[in-house]
Amino acid sequence: MKQPNLLRDFYHSKYPIDFLSDVKLKNYSKTYKALTKLEKHPFVKNLLYNHSSTPNDYSGLKTFNRLPDTGNLEGEIAWFTKSITKYKDELNKFIALEKTYQRNILTGKFHEAKDEIKRINDDICHSYWSIENSFSIEQKLNGTEGNWAFLKDINSKTPEPYTLFFNKYFSVKSEKDTTVLQYKRELESLFYEDISKSDIEYIVFKLGYFSSDDFTEFSHILNFDSNSSIIDKYLMIIDILFELSNNNQYISLTKEVLKTLKNEGILDSRIDRLLEYNSISSGGFIELNEEILILFDKYSLGDYSNCIEYCNELLVKFPSCIELYEIYIKSLIELNQEFKKTEISEPIDSILNDLYNLYTKNDAFYDSKENLLKQYLSFPKLTFFKQLLSLTIGLTNNGQGSRKVIRTIYFANSRFSNPQLVLINSLSKKIFFNKELLKKHLSLRINHSIINNEFDTLEDEGIPKNKLKIYKARSGFHNNNKLDISLLEELYNQPDLNINSKEEIILLLFEAYYKNDDIDKLIPLLVDSYFINKFLLERINKSSLLDIIIDKNYNLGNTTIDLPIFFFIEDVNSYFLYATLETFLTSIKVNKPSEINTETNNPKLIFLLENICNTDVLNNFYLIYDDDDDVIEERIKVLRMLIDLNKVKSDNYLEEIASLTQKQKIDKIIQTVNDGIISLNFNRIKEDKDYSLESNFNRFLRLKSFSDEFELNLSDTSNFFNKSATDSVEENPKQQDASFISFKAIFNEVLENFLFSKEHGLDGDLSTRIRHGVLENQIRPILGKNHLIAIKETEETYKNINYWQVKCNESGLTENTTKKLQDCFKLFSKSIDTAIITILKEYLQIQSNRHKSKEYGLFNYTYTDDYLWEIYKDVTDEPISYDDFLTIVFDQLKQRTEYLLKDISSFLTNTVNQDFQLHLDKLLNDTKKVLPKHEETRSEIELNINRTKTELERELYDISNWFKITNKLADSVLDIETIVKTAIESINLNNSDKIFPKLSFEGGIFYERGFYYIDIFKILIENAVKHSDLKKSDLGINIDIIAGMLRNKEGVNLPYSKLIVKFSNKLGANVDKEALDQKLKKVTENWSNISDLNKVNNEGGSGLQKIKRMLKFDIAVYNSDIKYQILDSELKIELGVVNYSQNFLDKI
C-alpha cells in the first residue's frame, strides 16, 4: 500500500475496520503518518474524535465502540496519540487546572478543589479522573456518607457497566476505613473472576497501579482505553510512557511518542520529566528551579536551621514539590529536633509528620506508612501523590512485593527537574547540567562529583566532613558498585551519625559485604543494626542471605550468637530457629541454653534467652528433651537465668514461670482424668443400707436348701413381658429351680442397682461424665477449629460458616459457588451431628435383662440363663455369706465391664472413626465438585479436611482411653485453683474459640475427690456455653471462689471445709428468661430432694442435677445449697458446699 493512495484506497475499501487494523500493524511513525492522512475521512475522523473523547456528562464515558486490538504496541500507541493531540488546547487547559486542583488539595481547600473539578467537567469534558477525584473530595468534605451519596447519584446517571465497575472501586478506596491492604485484596479478588489476563492488567493499571508486580499488555491497555475521554487517555499515555521508559526494548518508541506530544504543543512538566528521564532533552535539565537549588545548596553546607525556614517559605509557593518536604524533615533530623508543624495546611503537616516518622523510624513507622499510602490511594492520578507513593515505598520497602519502577516515578512526576536524576540509572546519567548553573550551585556540583567519582574540587566547598564522606561512599555505589568498605565501616562506627545517614551506610555496607560474600560481617551488621533500631533493616532484602546460610548448612567461618538472632529477625519458623540455635550452642560447646555461661550481662544473650529459647523452639531439640515436661523444665531454667540477667523484667519472667508450672500441673491432671473415667461404685453399693439385699439373699439360701430337698420348681416371670413369641428356647429344666430363679432375681437386683441406681449407677456416670456434652465437646471443636462444621440455626437448619464466606468473598468466588460450598458444609454438619447423637443416644447406652429399649447399647449387661446358671453353681457350691455373694457378683460385673469397655474402645477407634472418615471424604469430594481447580479456598479446605482426618482419629483414640475402669476419681486431692483452671483448660483444649473466664480466689484448701469438682466446674461452664445463646467470646463468665475452713465464733477451725462458688455469665437477648427461671426454680427448690435424680441419667437432664448427684453421692459432701438470680442480661448462680475436713486438708 503506497502512502499517496492511502486515503483513496480507504474510500474504496469494503472493510474499513480491517483496513484500519492493517494500518495499526505498522510501526509508530508510519501509523501516525497514515492516520494523519486518513483522519480526513469522516469515518476515521469519527473514530478518532468521537463523543466519548469529550463527553458532556458521565453517561457519555466509554460509550463509543473501540477498534479491535491488533496486539501491535507501536500501532496502538500511534492511534492513541493521534486521538488526543488534536485536543492540545483542551489538554493544556486541563493540565493548568489540574495543577490548581492539586494545590487546593494540599492546602486543604477541598471546596475550591471541588469547584475545580466542576470547571474541568464544564470547560473540557467529563472523565473517570473527575469521578475518582470527586469520590475522594466527597469523602474529605462529607465523610463516608457523602462518598456513598455520590456513588448513588453517579450510578443512577451512568448505565455503562465499565463506569459502574470503576465507580465501585473509586468509592471503596476513598473510604476512610478501607486500608491499603484491604483494597489490594479487593482487586486481587478479580483474578478469580472469569476475566482474561489482559483485561485484568487494564483494570489493575487503572485502579491499582501500585499493587501489581509487572505489566506487559501495553497494547491491550491502550486499546481498551481508546474510547475513554481525552483526559483519561492523556494521563494513561503518560503512565504508559513511564512504563516503557523502564524497558530498553521500548526506549526509541518512547522517545518518538514524547517528541510527538511535545511537538504537537502539549505543555506539561510530566513530558519534560520523561524527556529528562530518557536523556533526550537537547538542553540537559529542562526546568531546574533556582530557588529550590539554593535550598539544596544550604542543605549541602549543613545550614539546617536556615533550610527549615526557607522550606516553610517555599512550601507555600510550591506545595506540590515533594523535594521540599524531604529537606524539611532531614533538616529537623540533622538538628535532632522533634517534628514541628509548618502550619501551612493540615494536609501538608500531616504528610510531613508521617514522613518524619518514617525517616526517624520511630514506633509510628507502620502506621505512617499506611497513612501515606492511603493518601496516595485517594489521589493516585496526581503527580505529587505519585511521588509520595514512590517516596513511601522507597523508605519502607526492600524491593520485595513491589515494583522497582515505582521508586523512580518520583522523578517522572517531579514539578521541577531534580538534579538527583543523574544517580538513577545508566540512561539518566547521560543527562547533563547547564554549565552556568553548575558553576553557581554546590548541590549540582555534588551530584556531578558523585556520578563522576571526583571529589577533589569539593574538599574546600565548606561541606561538613561527615557529609562529604557520605557523598564519597554514595559515589562508590553509583559507579559500578565500587564501594569503599573501609570508608563505610568508618562511617558506620561513628557514634554521632544520625539515623537517616546510618541507614544509608548500613544499606551500602550490606551491598558491599553481600557482593564479597562476606557472611561473617553481614550477620553482625544486620543484628547490630537491629539492636539500634529494628526499622533500620526494613529496606534490606535479607531473604537471599537466609537461603545462602541454609545452603551452606549453617557452616559459617565464625558462628556467633548473631546467627540465631538474625534468623529470629527474619521471622523464620521454629525449626530454623532451632537449627541456628543448636549450631550456636555447639560452637560454644554446650547442649542446652541453660548451660550457657551467663557471667557477662550481654543484651544479645538476654534477647536470645527471652525470645528464641522458648518452648516452641526447644521442642525441636529431639535428642535432648524427651517430652513436654523436659522442655518446660528447660524453659523455666532459662527464665531463672533471665531473672538474674535482666532484673528490670524479673516480674515478667516470674509470671511466665508461674504460668508454665501451673500449665504443667493442669496438663498432668487432664492426662490422668482422661485416662479412664469409668468408675465402679461397688463399695458405695455395699455400704448403701437402702439397697441392702441381705434379707433377699437369706431367703434365697433357705429356698436353695428347701429346693435341694423337695425339687421345688417355679416359673420365671422376670422376662415374661420381654419375651416374644419366637423366642422359644429350650430351657434347662434345672433353670426352673426355685432357688435359681430366686438367685436370678437377686442378681438382677444387684445388676440394676449397679447400672441404674440414681445414686451410684453406671448410667448416671455415663450421663454425667460422657454423654453430657462431653463427647460432643471433643469432636465438634476439632471440626470447628478447622472451619468444617456449621452452627445450628434451628433443629434442622444450619448457619453459613463465616470463615469460608469471607474467604470466598476475598477470592472473588460467585455468590452461587459460595452458596453451593456452604450447602456442602451444612450437609456435612448435619451428618456429623446425627452421627454424634446416634452414638450418644443409641450406642453409649446400657441394655440389660430388664432394660431392653436400647438394642444397640454397647454396655450390654444382658445375661443369659445359661451364663447365670454357671454363676449360680459357683455361688451354691459351698455355703457363702451375703458379702461373699456380693463379691462374686461384683467380680462378674467387673469382668463383664472390662470386656465391654475393650469393645467400646475398639468401636470408637474403628467403626466410629471409619464413619467420620467417610463423612470427611464425602465433604472433600463435594467441595471439590463445587470449587474450581487450583483455587486458594479449595486448597485450604483440602488441607483442613486432611488435617481433621488425622486429628479426629487421634481424638477418638484419646476418647477410647476414657473407657477404662479407674479408681483415681475417689483418690484425687486437688486445690481449688487447680480444679477451676483444669476445668477451663480441658474445655479449651480442642477449641479454637476459647473461653477466658474472669477468676478470683479467696482462700484455698485442698479438696478430696478433686476430679469430681473438675467435672462440676465443667458442667457450669458448658451450661453457660450451651444455654446463653451467645458466642464464647461474649459469654463474660466470672467465677469467684471463697474457700477455706468453717470457723466458730472464736475463729477456731471446725472440722468442715466450705466452698462458695459464685458463677455468672451473660445471657443473649433471645434467651427465654421465664422458662429459664422456671427450670432453675425447680432445681433449686428440690436441691435437697434426691428423688428426682432418676432424670439425671436422661440426656437433656439438667446439668445442675448432675452436679447435685456428684455432690451428694460421688463426693458425699456434708451439705450443699444453690441459689440463682436472673438479671436483664446475666445469670448468677451461687453454689455453697460444706464438707467434712480432716487435718491434713488444712489451709495450704
Partner 1 sequence: MRILFIEDNKTKAESVKAHLEAFKHVDSLTLKESFTSGLRELFTNEYDALLLDMSLPTREGKLSKAVNNFEQLGGYKIMSEMKRKNKIIPTILITMFSEFGVGKTFMNLEELDSMLQNNFKDSYKAYIYYSSQDDNWKNKLTLQLESLV
Task: Kindly list the residues in this chain that would bind partner 1 in the complex (CB under 8 A).
Answer: 550, 553-554, 573-575, 579, 615-616, 619-620, 622-623, 627-628, 667, 670-671, 674, 909, 913, 917, 921, 934, 936, 938-940, 942-943, 946-947, 949-951, 953-955, 957-958, 985, 989-990
* CB closer to partner 1, 553 vs 1048: 553
In angstroms, give the least distance from the CB of 24 to partner 1. 38
In angstroms, give the least distance from the CB of 553 to partner 1. 6
How does strand 1130-1140 pair with strand 1053-1066? antiparallel
* CB closer to partner 1, 36 vs 950: 950
Answer yes or no: are the C-beta atoms of 264 and 256 closer than 8 Å. Answer: no
* CB closer to partner 1, 391 vs 666: 666
Answer yes or no: are the C-beta atoms of 298 and 308 closer than 8 Å. Answer: no
What angle do helix axes 383-396 and 322-334 make, rounded to 10 degrees? 40
892's grid cell:
462378674
In angstroms, give the least distance from the CB of 767 to partner 1. 24
Q: Which helix (H) or strand (E) holds 1119?
A: strand 1119-1126
29: exposed, middle or buried (C-beta count within 10 Å: 0-12, 13-18, 19+)? middle
In angstroms, give the least distance from the CB of 28 to partner 1. 38
* CB closer to partner 1, 570 vs 942: 942
676: exposed, middle or buried (C-beta count within 10 Å: 0-12, 13-18, 19+)? middle
First to last CA, the chain: 105
Backbone angles phi, psi at 798, to 5 degrees: -125, 155
Answer yes or no: are the C-beta atoms of 479 and 504 closer than 8 Å. Answer: no
* CB closer to partner 1, 953 vs 1040: 953
* CB closer to partner 1, 121 vs 948: 948
* CB closer to partner 1, 500 vs 615: 615
* CB closer to partner 1, 598 vs 809: 809
In angstroms, give the least distance from the CB of 940 to partner 1. 5
In angstroms, give the least distance from the CB of 942 to partner 1. 6
CA neighbor of 865 nearest in space, from 998, 696, 741: 741
Beta bridge partners of 713: 737
In angstroms, give the least distance from the CB of 102 to partner 1. 36
* CB closer to partner 1, 437 vs 989: 989
Backbone angles phi, psi at 1047, to 5 degrees: -125, 150
* CB closer to partner 1, 632 vs 693: 632
How does strand 846-848 pair with strand 859-861? parallel
Q: Say how many C-beta atoms besides its own lie within 10 A of residue 197's C-beta.
A: 10
Alpha helices (H) in 757-814, listed in sequence order: 762-766, 774-785, 802-811
* CB closer to partner 1, 385 vs 554: 554
* CB closer to partner 1, 199 vs 667: 667
715: exposed, middle or buried (C-beta count within 10 Å: 0-12, 13-18, 19+)? exposed
Q: How far apart are CA 697 and CA 1043, in angstroms?
A: 45
DSSP annotation of 791: P
In angstroms, give the least distance from the CB of 869 to partner 1. 41
* CB closer to partner 1, 713 vs 961: 961
- Kindly provide the residue ranges of all beta strands, DSSP E only, lying in 483-607, ordered along the sequence: none
In angstroms, give the least distance from the CB of 17 to partner 1. 43
* CB closer to partner 1, 203 vs 549: 549
Q: How far apart are CA 182 and CA 810, in angstroms?
A: 9
In angstroms, give the least distance from the CB of 810 to partner 1. 10
Q: How far apart are CA 755 and CA 762, in angstroms?
A: 5
* CB closer to partner 1, 200 vs 606: 200
In angstroms, give the least distance from the CB of 556 to partner 1. 13
Q: Which helix (H) or strand (E) holds 828?
A: helix 815-838
HEC profile of 944-995: HHHHHHHHHHHHHHHHHCCCCECCHHHHCEEEHHHHHHHHHHHHHCCCCCCC
150: which residues sit within 8 A by CB, 6+ positions away? 134, 135, 138, 171
16: which residues sit within 8 A by CB, 6+ positions away? 10, 43, 44
How does strand 1038-1047 pair with strand 1053-1066? antiparallel
Beta bridge partners of 847: 860
In angstroms, give the least distance from the CB of 187 to partner 1. 15
* CB closer to partner 1, 32 vs 183: 183
Beta bridge partners of 1045: 1057
* CB closer to partner 1, 568 vs 798: 568
In angstroms, give the least distance from the CB of 611 to partner 1. 17
* CB closer to partner 1, 785 vs 792: 785
CA neighbor of 577 nearest in space, from 596, 557, 558, 554: 554
Q: How far apart are CA 985 and CA 13, in angstroms?
A: 83
Alpha helices (H) in 1033-1143, listed in sequence order: 1073-1085, 1103-1109
Answer yes or no: are the C-beta atoms of 270 and 383 closer than 8 Å. Answer: yes
How does strand 1053-1066 pair with strand 1006-1008? unpaired
DSSP character string of 412-440: HT-SS--GGGGGT-TTGGG----HHHHHH
Tell me the C-alpha to C-alpha distance, in Å, between residue 1100 and each of 241, 773, 933, 1018, 1103.
Answer: 73, 9, 44, 16, 8
